[in-house]
Amino acid sequence: MKHREQSKRMEATMEKTAMILAKHLKEEGIEYAFGIPGGEVLELLEAFRLVGIEFILTKHEMGAGFMADAYYQLTGKPGVLVSTLGPGITNTVTPVANAYLDRSAMIVITGEVSTKLKGVYTHQILEQRDLLKPVTKWSTTLGGCSDSQSIQKAIDICKSGYPGPVHINIPTDVAVMQQKYIPRRKKTTSKVGPAAETIDAFVNSLREAKKPVVLAGVGVALEDAPAIQSFCRNWSVPLITTYKAKGLLPENDVLCFGGTGLSPVADGQHMQLVRDDADLVITIGFDPVELRSDWNLSWQTKTWNIDIVPNEYQLIPVDQEYVGNIQSFFESVNQITEVESKWKQEDCLRYKEDLVKKIEPQEREGLSPFDVVSTCRELLPQDAIAIVDTGSHRIMLNHVWQCYEPKTLLQSNGLGSMGYALPAGIAAQMVHRDRPVVIFTGDAGFDMIIGELAMLPQHQLPVTIVVFNDQLLSLIRLKQSRMNLETTGVEFSGINYQHLAKAYNGNGITVETVEELQAALKEVQSSPTFTIIDARVNPAEYWQQM
């Protein structure tokens, strides 16, 4: 009887294609879809309403895509980006490319003209699948036959292996077409652990080493963290993370050596350890998409690579490799009871102290970007979620802002897109209504996406936005200087951010000293609305770090 009732629930029913798509997204537990509608996706919006997925209207498709990316980063559920045809889909390319390089599961849904007009009608028409092909894992156009299975396939592909974006194209006549909806069957996936001989080989390498070090990157999933933490602590092996993996081990832990990837100063010390001082490198989900070009000088140190996909990058020299579930691998290693402490605590402390001395500016004039970040970290709660935009401030911040949990510092790292922080911060506050969210952005990146501010009062999101205001593309100006070129095309007029905040029904505070910043941070923690802190920083400090 029970089997018959279950079979009855699993029976196919006839639904509109748009409704089938919405139902499959709802099966994944997805609460939000982000985008800007056109006439070609209206059936889908109605289906979202009926199944209980809230459609979040943004001001630009780029902002919508970055929101979808952050939604995945914080929930583990695919982010959904919706656009219409023509300029709608062209505006999605940057955030979809960002998701592709940062390994974010995203479902990109685009509307298209009726199949009857395809090949004849040309207004706003592009080859939409070809446009997104280079930055997606898979693409399909729904056609009114077995679309339920095609949608489930797209969802599976976006989550499997290294996660990434997939593209579902839906013509207007297909959206209203009746066809079979086949509910997703619940399946249990067994995580196949490593073979005993693989664990033995890894542990033997570990026992032979005197100074092993772990490099962890974007490929490490949230569920992998506890097993990796236990491994590092059991064997006293220090951990260096890429910027996307910060917080994998709390950064106040003596074994956490901080982030690496884009800072010449910090990377210099880390690369010396990897190439010259360590005798075993353990890479975990470590992807060169996060690294500056200096890392292209491959090291000779013996290397074990642990990842869910094979190492295909010549940048990372691998001697032995395990391809499979990262969590299962380290859980198996952690069953070994006879462990050896590899690093002395005083050596770890000395390494961390040396790094701090290199990062902290010795001379300060005006408001220091270093002091802005360190003051925010000191006064904001430990569980705050931070989002940082691209620019000189991002490189510095990744070596000053301490993370105590994974996925508490979001950024565009593989693509390095400006304009990421504000929309990602909006999504972060939607997901975590009970946690403080702070957005760090340069003035140039903020100005690119400024229209999304309207969403903050609309959705009652009391985020704090710290703008590093120097009226300059600091990183590009530095490169000009080092090439002995004149300052051209990198300076711009500033915006009165206090007035801007007021125009969007928020608060605006200008700070020029650490004391003023401290007072502002105390004020924002009790504010019911968003606050822009206009930090008038001296960019000269960036140049000391580059």
pLDDT at 520: 98
**Residue closest to 492 by CA, chosen among 510, 477, 508:** 477
Greatest alpha-carbon span in the chain: 81
Query: Could you give the CA distance from residue 82 to residue 56 in angstroms, rounded to a whole number?
Result: 10
CATH no. for 360-545: 3.40.50.970
pLDDT at 122: 64
How does the average pLDDT of the chain come out, rounded? 93
pLDDT at 121: 67
pLDDT at 118: 74
Query: Could you give the CA distance from residue 18 to residue 285 in angstroms, rounded to a whole number?
Result: 36
Domain residues of the chain, as ranges?
Answer: 11-181, 196-354, 360-545
pLDDT at 343: 96
φ and ψ of 422, to 5 deg: -60, -55
Query: Could you give the CA distance from residue 141 to residue 129 in angstroms, rounded to a whole number?
Result: 8
Any idea which fold 196-354 has? Answer: Rossmann fold (3.40.50)
The per-residue b/e assignment along 342-352, b for 16 or more CB within 10 angstroms, e otherwise, is: bbeeeebeebb
Q: Does the model's pTM come out above 0.85? A: yes
φ and ψ of 168, to 5 deg: -115, 120
A 10 A CB-CB count for 245 gives 32
Structurally, what CATH architecture does the domain formed by 11-181 represent?
A: 3-Layer(aba) Sandwich (3.40)
Low-confidence ranges of the chain (pLDDT < 70): 1-10, 121-122, 124-125, 297, 314
Query: Could you give the CA distance from residue 470 to residue 366 in angstroms, rounded to a whole number?
Result: 12
Over the stretch 21-69, which tens digit does the pLDDT of each residue have?
999 999 999 999 999 999 999 999 999 999 999 999 999 999 999 999 9
pLDDT at 518: 98
**Read out DSSP for 290-311?**
GS-GGGGS---S-EEEEESS--
Over the stretch 256-282, which tens digit does the pLDDT of each residue have?
999 999 999 999 999 999 999 999 999
pLDDT at 124: 67
Helix, strand, coil shares, percent, the chain, to 5: 45, 20, 40
pLDDT at 84: 94
pLDDT at 298: 73
Query: Could you give the CA distance from residue 323 to residue 308 in angstroms, rounded to a whole number?
Result: 5
